[in-house]
Structure 1
Amino acid sequence: MTTIYDTSKFNRRIKIYEYVGGSDGAGGRLDDWKTKEGYSLIFSRWANVIPISGKYLYETKMAQEKITHDIVVRFHKKIMDVSSKKLVIEYLGARYDVDYRIDVDNQHKFIKMRCIAKHGGR
């Protein structure tokens, strides 16, 4: 039986970014996803990208949550060192904001990130 932590399912290439902002010189913050201004690439990883099922998606909407995908990668300390609210994932040109992440079973083997698919800006 395969699970979401089965590494043979890690067949999607993702890019993980940290939102770092920075001044735009006019008193504002850099935040342009299309050009990646204000974002720093942490690294690319192989991942398991799992759309949330219809039943679970319905339940999360009832609870006012917006989670649309789970994205699972092998553990890496850099991901845990960045605030989850600053993590952004790019997969097939689409943007996914990380709502929170979990070190699965606190074993430092896998990280599951609960993500919100975004359309447009931050």
Structure 2
Amino acid sequence: MDNSDPLRNVGFAKTDNNAAGRRLVDVVGGNGFRTGRPPAQDITVIGYPALSPYPGNRRHSCRGRTSVFNDDRIVVNCRLTAGLNGGSGVTEFNSGRGTGYINGTSIGRDATRWASPYFDEFGWDLYVYADNL
């Protein structure tokens, strides 16, 4: 599946089981994936910001409520700096376990907001396509 739309900056990788027959997610952990959620939702943005005051080598997060931007993106107020691109937006985040459901990937930001494609049927279709490879 090929779509060069930068507003759809989403990808999936499928892995085989290891030599012991275990899935990667069962060995190292992972998050779920959800699409079609309400555009206004509580979300935790997680990434590795690399401009001052952040060093780029440690995970940081911010939490906020998303809103719609330009009809095809969600945004949340978040003052993490550049380097956050590709960082996840996670709903139902459990800070004790460090898990939740991926419902966004950072496609850019300005000084105060994190932005992601809205995960609609396109995101689900891509997920199913990758899973069937």
The answer to whether the superposition gives a TM-score over 0.5 is: no
What TM-score, normalized to structure 1? 0.35
Bigger strand share: 1
Q: Taking structure 2 as the reference length, what is the TM-score of the superposition?
A: 0.33
The structure with the largest helix share of the pair is 1
